[in-house]
Amino acid sequence: MEKALLNLWFNNIEDIGNITRLRLLKNFGNVENIYEANKNVLSKHLTDIQVNNLLQSKEISKSKEEYERLKERNINIIYWGHRKYPSKLYNIYDSPTLLYVKGTMNDSINSYNSNIAIVGSRKLSVYGREITDYFSKRLATSEINIVSGMARGIDSIAHMSALKAGGYTIAVLGSGINVPYPQENTELYAMIEKKGVIISEYGLDVKPNPGYFPMRNRIISGLSDGVLVVEAEKKSGSLITADYALEQGKQVYAVPGRLLDKNSEGTNNLIKAGAYLVTHPNDILSDIKGKKEYSQMSFNLEQPEITIQEEKDMVNKNFLAPIEKIVYSCLSLEPKYIDDIIQHTGMGVTKTISTLFTMEEKGLIKQPLKGYYIISI
Residue 97 resides in a domain? no
| DSSP-assigned letter for residue 144 | P
Residue 101 has pLDDT above 70, yes or no: yes
pLDDT score for 303? 41
Domain interval for residue 45: 1-72
| DSSP-assigned letter for residue 364 | S
pLDDT class for 43, splitting at 50, 70, 90?
very high
312 plus 266 within the same structural domain: no
pLDDT score for 261? 85
Share of residues in the chain with pLDDT > 90 (%) = 68
Amino acid residing at 55: L
Q: Which of 17, 8, 9 is nearest to 50 (CA)?
A: 17
Q: Which of 229, 248, 297 is nearest to 95 (CA)?
A: 248
Residue 164 resides in a domain? yes
212 plus 356 within the same structural domain: no
> Strand order of the sheet with strand 365-369?
336-337, 372-375, 365-369
50 plus 127 within the same structural domain: no
CA distance 109 to 219: 13
pLDDT class for 333, splitting at 50, 70, 90?
confident
DSSP string, 245-309: HHHTT-EEEE----TT-GGGHHHHHHHHTT-EE-SSHHHHHHHHHTSGGGTT-S----SPP--HH
The mean pLDDT of the chain is: 89
Angle at which helices 349-361 and 338-345 pack, to 10 degrees? 110
CA distance 289 to 296: 9
Residue 18 resides in a domain? yes
What end-to-end distance do the CA atoms of the chain give, in Å?
A: 55
pLDDT score for 250? 93
Handedness of CA 115, 116, 120, 122 (dihedral sign): negative
pLDDT score for 237? 83
119 plus 56 within the same structural domain: no
3-state secondary structure of 208: coil
Task: Give the ranges where 109-185 is alpha helix by DSSP (H).
Answer: 126-140, 154-164
281 plus 349 within the same structural domain: no
Residue 157 has pLDDT above 90, yes or no: yes
**pLDDT digits 0-9 by tens, 277-329:** 999 999 999 998 754 343 344 444 444 455 666 565 666 556 788 889 899 98
pLDDT score for 296? 40
Residue 69 has pLDDT above 80, yes or no: yes
Average pLDDT of 238-261? Answer: 91
Are the beta carbons of 375 and 364 closer than 8 angstroms? yes
364 plus 224 within the same structural domain: no
**pLDDT digits 0-9 by tens, 366-377:** 888 788 898 887
166 plus 197 within the same structural domain: yes
Residue 93 has pLDDT above 90, yes or no: no
Q: What is the CATH number of the domain that holds 277?
A: 3.40.50.450
pLDDT class for 10, splitting at 50, 70, 90?
very high
pLDDT score for 317? 53
